[in-house]
């Protein structure tokens, strides 16, 4: 997104005045542009970030012993562990990762492997929108449970 800076609503009459304004008022950031009757300064304006969307959702329960009870989802170095079959609140980026997690299915036909389809590795259902507040509260509860389980395992290991 960008906007053109003018001199009190009118184009700068010459380049030198436009450059002087750019240097003194904009720390040299901008680009001089010809606006027909003079010059303007093109200023890049950052778009405000989109607010995060949160979803209440559920990853389907295990369908075989080969599937883990807990699904690890990671986005840009941030990882969340989600128990299958449990309603959870996730940021949309994690929901999209789960939705895109697939494995190709192959069959052996006449001594040749043939791709016969794709299977979702962690089928997820969106149950409705949620809020960041609900997500953060869920994280606190989950971390408390995890910490309690770790303490119990450590206590058992010591005895």
The predicted-structure confidence for 90-149, as pLDDT tens digits, reads as follows 999 999 999 998 888 899 989 999 999 888 888 999 999 999 999 999 888 887 777 787
Give the span between the Cα atoms of 129 and 17, in whole angstroms: 52
pTM over 0.75: no
List strand residue ranges (DSSP E) for 20-152, in order.
31-34, 39-44, 54-59, 70-75, 78-83, 87-91, 102-109, 112-120, 124-130
Give the span between the Cα atoms of 126 and 95, in whole angstroms: 8
Give the span between the Cα atoms of 154 and 158, in whole angstroms: 6
Widest CA span of the chain, in angstroms?
85
**Token pair belonging to 136:** 């953060």
CA atoms within 13 A of residue 39's CA, in its CB half-sphere: 16
Residue ranges of domains in the chain: 2-44, 54-158
For residue 18, what pLDDT band results from cuts at 50, 70 and 90? confident
pLDDT higher than 70, residue 50: yes
Residue 9's pLDDT is what? 79
Residue 3's pLDDT is what? 67
Give the span between the Cα atoms of 135 and 146, in whole angstroms: 16
pLDDT in tens, 70-85: 999 999 889 999 999 9
Residue 8's pLDDT is what? 77
């Amino acid at each position: 997104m960008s906007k053109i800076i003018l001199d009190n609503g009118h184009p700068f009459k010459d380049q030198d005045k436009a450059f002087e304004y750019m240097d003194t008022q904009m720390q040299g950031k901008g680009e001089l542009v010809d606006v027909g009757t003079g010059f303007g300064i093109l200023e890049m304006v950052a778009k405000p970030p989109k607010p995060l969307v949160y979803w209440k959702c559920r990853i389907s329960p295990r369908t075989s012993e080969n599937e883990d009870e807990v699904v690890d989802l990671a986005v840009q170095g941030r990882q969340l562990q989600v128990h299958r079959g449990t309603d959870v609140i996730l940021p949309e980026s994690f929901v999209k990762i789960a939705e895109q997690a697939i494995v190709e299915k192959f069959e052996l036909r006449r001594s040749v492997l043939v791709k016969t389809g794709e299977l979702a590795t962690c089928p997820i259902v969106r149950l409705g929108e949620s809020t960041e507040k609900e997500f953060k509260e869920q994280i606190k509860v989950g971390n408390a449970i995890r910490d309690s389980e770790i303490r119990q395992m450590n206590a058992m290991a010591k005895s």
